[in-house]
Amino acid sequence: MLSPETLTKDNFAEGLNFLVSRDPDLAEIFQTLGTPPLWVREPGFSTLIQIILEQQVSLASAKAVYTRLQATISPITPELFLLVLDDVLIVLPSVLPILTPNHLLVNYLVA
């Protein structure tokens, strides 16, 4: 079994080249737009929340929601998130109405 490897500029480039060599559509996108950014972040629950938000909404909206969340929970940890879950569910929809108790983000984080 392969062990996890830290993502670096070198292995990121290797992975991109591997994918581009096998997928003509991806190769065309890569040629047109160039190398995507390598965003290095601290591992952890807080980063997981940011990534999920950024996948669900625009980066600007995700940042706004995350900023509101930070104002409610600091530091953002799984334990504190669960402890103040009801408060979080009140804060998030006020920033972004699609975030409800049944929203995918909430389901991911409490699972």
Q: Is 53 exposed, middle or buried (0-12, 13-18, 19+ CB in 10 A)?
A: buried
Percent of the chain exceeding pLDDT 90 equals 27
Domain residue limits, the chain? 7-40, 45-110
The sign of the torsion formed by the CA atoms of 50, 93, 68, 61 equals positive
What are phi and psi for residue 37, nearest 5 degrees? -70, 145
Tell me what pLDDT residue 89 has: 62
Whether residue 23 has pLDDT greater than 60: yes
Q: What is the mean pLDDT of the chain?
A: 80
Per residue in 50-74, pLDDT (tens digit) is 988 888 888 898 898 888 888 878 8
Contact yes or no for 50/62 (Cβ under 8 A): yes
Q: In what helix (H) or strand (E) does residue 84 lie, and over which residues does it extend? A: none
The DSSP code for 41 is -
> 14 in the Ramachandran plot: left (φ > 0), alpha (ψ -120 to 50) or beta?
alpha
Q: How far apart are CA 2 and CA 26, in angstroms?
A: 26
| Lowest pLDDT segment from 34-43, 58-67, 90-99 | 90-99
